[in-house]
Structure 1
Amino acid sequence: MIHFTIAAAFIAVVAVNGDGGPVCHTCSNVASLEACTDQINCDADEECYMEKTLDNVLSTSFTFGCQKTKVCSMLSAGSGAVIGRKRNVRTVPGTRAKRAVTLCSQCCSGNLCAKGLCVGGSTTGVPAKNEVYVQLLGGSNAYEGTVLVYFNNAWGTICDDNWTNTDAGVICKMLGYSDVGAGAVGQARFGYFSSGRIWLEDVACTGNETSIAQCQESSWGITDCSHREDAGVLCTSVSKEDDVIFLADTGRGGKVTRMNLLTGSFVDIPVNKNYAVGSFDYDSVEGRIYFVEPRLDQLVSVHFDGTDIRELKQLSTNADLEKLEVDPVNRILFYTDTGNDVIGSINLDGSNFQIVINSNLDEPREIAVDPRSKQIYWTDWGKSPKIERSNYDGTERQTLITTGIMWPNGMAIDYNDNKLYFVDGGTHLLEVMDMDGGNRHTVMKDAGAHFFAIDVFKNYLFYTDWNQQTLMRVNKDGSGKTAVGPPSFRELADIRIHEYGLDVQAPSPSSHVTLDPKHVFVRMLGTASAGRVDVYANGEWGSICDDHWDNKDASVVCSMLGYNRENALATSSVKVSSGTGLIYMDEVNCTGTETHIVQCGFTEDNWAKSDCTHQEDAGITCELPQTPDNFLIFTDVYSGHLFRMDMESFSFTAIPQPSSPNPVALTYDDVTKQVFYSEVVPNPGSQIRSVGIDGSGVKVVKQLSNGTVPDGLAVDAAAAKLFYTDAGSDVIAWTSLDGTGQTVIAHDKLDQPRGIVLDTANQVVFWTDWGQTPKIESADYSGANRKTIVSTGIQLPNGLAIDLKAGRLYFCDAGTHQIEAVDLDGGNRKVIYQDNSAHFYGLALSDKYIFYSDWNKSGLMKINRDGTGNAMAGPPGFSRINALAAYQVQA
């Protein structure tokens, strides 16, 4: 039998004996504290001691006694108490700076101080726990990853020997997901960990277990595997987000963690690497997380699976964003800004931004909203600390508390009991009061805590303590303090708990639909007209089983991809490479009239429920309409592919062509149905190629010389001219559609020309130049009448798009991080959209949207024509999107 031990200073002191030392329990190998009735008088320099032993089947025994008090080595002998003002400012996410905590707090938070060194004496610690937890690491979304198991105070992996879907289902249940359709993967598919233990191998679950610790397995820590055999899981992304704790850890660079409230197991939500979360809230109506990005001075939202990131508002550079909270009923977000000392609000769709409170604020931090009364509550920990409230519009402002507080930080409303709970990092108190400030009293005092955030769930208060590595929990009466989950965090700056459908009482917002067609897409892998069908839902790709897969089903998928419904064919056992993820759909039953495949009889109950293998993956054969319409095309540089995306469903398929090492520019000729694109290879020379929109007739249109960089393309089919920018030779030129001939229309004072568009009616060409003297210019097709349209306030102008009806030119700038519009003569210039985290590149227009590519995002982006409603068009997962074009048949 293998034994593991955990030793800790024991918190249960029975009494103090005549020599000044504690009276402690003394027993060996008993099942619990209650089973230990013997006591011992410890010396004055001793403390109570506990040692916990776990065997390989998780049976627990305890040994109790006395041990010498450990004195923090950083406290010099005879120096007396080391008391200091702790820093009450959270770490800025993404920085490496450490929080300055007094030596006394560092020591006492671990129960290791000699008596008398800290005010109030040694703090009450948290006893060692014997739970087993799991987390996922390395996945591209919150539903997959290598499994890490926390056991005996250490993280380790699982060997993939005999690792099955049933075993994976137990892991998924521990994370709060459905076990239906769970997939087991091995061979360290999501990355292996060269250090750390391998806790388990030959796991044998029945599927009825609630924890991996209940499954039959070999002895803990006994294995002949290597980390290259680490086991992973694929959990279905279509699961109710029920009983979920969301945490923000600024000490780990602003990571957001999704923890199962019932088990303490968790997984990080992989928010785009360019963003760090300072504070956040969860909107259950749309399933989105709204957060402040304190480095970029932005209000941002992201789907809870980590996809579809959107900038809600770019604030001024002197902003210092602290906290936010969402009203899911009235669809408003409120936030605090300590840089400008204001409280602001904005609708969740990005409209109606306003400053609500802008006076008598010093360090506003927490914000809480009551949708029932439309009132906001906030804490202010400045020179005159206080807790206040007002109406949503800032009227009827009232101060609730001004005494007995130092650093009021977190605050939460208990909607059931109509109480307001708050924590103070300076007084070390957790308190409660009525909504009007009356009946105030202390729930708990912890002299070693640095309280920061708090939330309410049923009869519990969950809070964060910067001196603990875990989330903490206490009963509403102040009893039962305990750690939640394993010690895996550094500086928990925010916590939000979501109970399905019960975020706010009277009225209660409905939770989001996990099979919302707006977040489910399809793709076809194969040729231009046939291939395997994959389905994307909430962060994951999966396939379709071909059981009862028929032409009606195929017609729905073909229409989503922009093909004809007519003549759609269902194919079985597709010979394209088999899928590797989950099988999402089985027994599809479409009538053929649906606009989306999820309308063909699918709910959370039968999603990913299948008895098929990937040898039965379903496919389709489709045909393009005579006049393709409403589609986007774009280049993906690192994958070397061209893609065509339907502008309604945002589902897509690749345009088959020899994989290009560096596809950059592209344009579409609606007369010949040809896509022209550039392959930029300065040595031995770039090429301009063409391919049919259906993937036919791939050919080299023009071979360019060494050093050429064709960054932009535009076609005038009526004039039979193909224009291009060349940032290598610094010219603007055109060639015939078959590549014969070449006419340079501009070469003087060009540095790095890139984007290019045409006014075909007036035969005028426009281009951007991002060189040392950045500018946007125009000239006739002949090169005559060359004009500078924009020359100020730009840095790296890249993509161009033209609205001929409105007579407007749109451009995006990777240096100013803006999308702007001007008249064709340069007048009436206006900023449409700004995102300080973006590296804008390509730009395209439809009648509804402005589409753009951002090198810092993994998907195609869109905004409304007025600059609102930033969102990802379709799923993420592309490498780097360069140029793009939109095509619609004009009415």
Structure 2
Amino acid sequence: MALLVFLLLAFFTGPAQFESSSTVRLVGGPHRCEGRVEVQQNGEWGTVCDDGWGMEDVAVVCRELNCGEAKWTPSGTLYTPSTDKDQKVFLQEVICQGHELNLSQCDQVEVFDCTHDEDAGAQCEKPSLTVRLAGGPHRCEGRVEVQQNGEWHTMCHAGWGMEEAAVVCRELNCGEAKGTPRGTAYEPSTGTDQKVLMQEVICQGHELNLTACEPVDIFDCFHNEGAGVQCEMLENVRLVGGPRRCKGRVEVKHQGKWGTVCKAGWNLSAVKVVCRQLGCGKALLTKRCCSTTQGQGPIWLSEVSCSGRELSLQRCSSGILGKNNCTHDDDMCVECEDPFDLRLVGGDTNCSGRLEVLHKGEWGSVCDDGWGEEEDRTVCKQLGCGESLFPSAKIQKFGRGVGRIWLDDVRCSGKEKSLEQCQHRFWGHHDCNHKEDVAVICSEP
């Protein structure tokens, strides 16, 4: 009866209008112009039901977000993380003609029987202006560069602050903003032929991307005034208990808690996705778990199915989160080729010799400028070779290297688990010759 009364009321009164203060965003997609549709009312974000949702409605969303042409009307359930069960569904049906400038101009019917299984999605063109952080230790820190018309430009430091950094971190899905270092802190330095974007942006800090900030033209900025950003590095997946970061038990993070993945349904395509997400090399299908410890806590995922093209494991289909019949004996492990591998060559065992590191598929040596006991310890720890016997290693024992000298001025604190985490010059930058190659002897073969 209540439903009948509502339908009669909706029929006679006609569709209502959005509040003028409502805004829209796309959540969980590969970029800001694709994802689950959410609208804001009275400071709260809620979803939109897919009843009647079509290309006219998507076209308006794409126009409002400055995202080019509408491409598709996917289900909002495709995008992760899934909608929080406590989040409201604000709209039952949106009725657009396709020419409106924003969703607030479209008619709508308020919710009476819609659930999050019916959330609407939208896919637009990728944004014409994209952002990246270049030269940093990971993708969430570095010099700010923006792309316009297929060309990358340096972002000027003028007026740059934590509000702008917060927007960049949000756009890149990199967590909280931590700092605004000068872009000149990152190597390699900006190319002399790269343009400086003759524009300053003024952000409030709540914007979803830099294109939503206010542009201000400037005329006197140079590469030595480039902006930098330091964000958190979000961890959604990791490999635990293995001998190096690209081999171990798969764990994913949900609701702030790490849990394992059941091997049911697992195949090489899923391994490829994990290796790609972690920035590791070629995927190797592991027949048995390569972790030295057994998993603890929740088993978050089971029946994972990937095509191999996904950008992250969270984009693969799987069973219901946390619902499975697995035990930790079924935990899945992954092995990838490590793009940052190291070895000791020329010695009697693989725990002594001249140090070489692998970069871009090529082995090269390490210069001994600044090399000391902490660096030795880190190498022995990473190789599982016991304690360092520093300073007993002499390069004369193992011969000089040939070819590349990849690293120079390496600095470790002693807390690092691998040499990759230590500070060093940019790859291939050095002032050494092979007389200065590092050699290491560890206590255990």
After TM superposition, the score normalised by the length of structure 1 is: 0.24
Structure (1/2) with the larger helix percentage: 2
Structure (1/2) with the larger strand percentage: 1
